[in-house]
Structure 1
């Protein structure tokens, strides 16, 4: 069955300048990511809570997602890194691979502002800890590779 293209009514958005590519190339499509500063430091100008922007906001979000335990986020038990339970396992290459997979999954599933490149979990046998190195690009700044390290260690 063939469809005659000329009989399809044109929408008001089919005019020149309203296609998706021109919207993507537009300079006004650049977004700035803004989060609250979780250290709750206040701004001097109006005594309000300060904000973190762009790369710093995404880095803090990634760190918080990795360190989040199940049921710490109200009504969303599925949002968690689940890595603290693995810190009480024996330090083997298999556990390091599982830890790497969990960190990759939580970032890919719950942080749309980060495009993950790699995750490495290196065991530190002397301190009974894992040094997790995360490399990613922020979506709006695809030329700057962000490399952050999170130290995971048992508290008790």
Structure 2
């Protein structure tokens, strides 16, 4: 069942099994607010189990950096806005990953990571990435990093 994310009031729908449920819900709401403010796009998530093809694509891209995530995915979101395809995965431990690429030839390809407020940096990221901090009214302190994708990963 899909869920339209409320970015005015943080709701934990679909994320209840997370030990950092409130922070993860705030992170998800923060993403929804960004897409509404910038593109007037309604941010909708679905259970990760309903879209194994999205998880497979994200996992294949992460292998470019020898990253295998042992975390349980809870929700995904996949959409195109303003010529860019975005795929999000929200994990039970509080991690959010997004993959973005422009649909035009020669465009940008990148993977972004965001850590929910209060969660430790996962071992798989140690020494590979530096995390910048940002404050959010919805999510508290968010730590984020990214890498540019080298390969080509069509749908």
TM-score bucket (shorter structure)? under 0.3
Please tell me whether Structure 1 or Structure 2 has the larger radius of gyration of its CA atoms.
1
Query: Which structure carries more strand by proportion?
Result: 2
TM-score w.r.t. length of structure 1: 0.28
TM-score w.r.t. length of structure 2: 0.28
